[in-house]
Structure 1
């Protein structure tokens, strides 16, 4: 099912958004930083000010080479209506760096611990790229913790499920992305260390995401940019077919980082997913 999404200059990302993305741990645009110990890891979370206490919390899970930073525009767009939490996974962003890189299941187990630490009601869980694999694994194993699931640019397409295949597609995508995102990527890779990024990529291409997708029971949105070379429409549609209750949305003018460059459109699609309907 394709949902109509109002578009407004998708694909844009400029100096103002960059400053906001790099603000942590300083407060900015209603977002603040805090640290908690989760499974022995000192964990940084960027969160919004209190919104409607009855609204579903939205938890944003970043990809394999990045952090909370590039998800900041979406966090701000959602914060008007929902509490928003953006944790940095172990080894990324401002979270402590363990000695080894977690695989998908390790991140999912850690994220379950993070949810327990925050004592949240069932959440809307969004994972982008590699984060979509982590979110899927958690939703498959902890269905009561997830009210709704958003898989944004989910990896990885079996047609290019190798380090070379994924890196090649990512290089093609960089030519379609807003260039002001580059300082965020450089900062995030420096924080994580290149070896952790490489190890996480290896974990991704060896992850059997299909086995988790068929176990998801939450209403699910599979969301991609129309210009995404990492996640072609064929893989997006296959993901939606594997999940028992899924719909798709495509933002035409965005590339792989649709959550960064089209936050208004993505936020609107998430709110639509959370509206109860007679069929749910």
Structure 2
């Protein structure tokens, strides 16, 4: 009798486990079963949009279309079947600030959160977090104009929340001392500023005789044509790309992680 009872418990437990939908994320899993039973090896989410997931696995790629998902799968991925239109496409809010592509890059933002913040269920109550997070991500993407614009929007819409000071996330470039340029001795004249062909005289001996002729290399100026006679060459600093400042990525990532955690918590509370 005990054996029969234990067997029944195991069957119930197995059935419950089988009924649970495993949510695939950016972290690879050894095996991932699709709704039709197909099993993907070492699968992970490469990209997510309003229509579905692009999954990369050992045998290639697989697109998981949201409109073909069963109800339990929709719920697991943060989709509300009751809000899905008749044509099967997932409804989204108008991307007023063009941040949806940036949201996809936020490290640690759960698929459920992304789906929530890009759906009609989201009413804009966490826009200060969303915009600030996208501003930080834009910094990491080196899209500084976008980061500045998003930061200005946050300051305009949420003046009482405190503005994210982007300048505090940069440090002075040590290589160029904040100048954005670097100065080197001219290689052509070794820093002398004189034309290497005529020695700075503006004339030189002709090839066939000792007659002095106009130096065509410096056009008679006697100055090095490479540096204009200064003996120096000025180039853009490669370290800071001419900006004079270096983005402190550790600071940005630390602040971004806090914002993403708050975004995930806000979504779970809804």
The TM-score by the shorter chain falls in which range?
A: under 0.3
TM (normalized to structure 1)?
Answer: 0.26
Q: Which has the larger radius of gyration?
A: 2
Larger RCO: 1 or 2 (CA < 8 Å, sep 6+): 1
TM-score (norm 2): 0.27
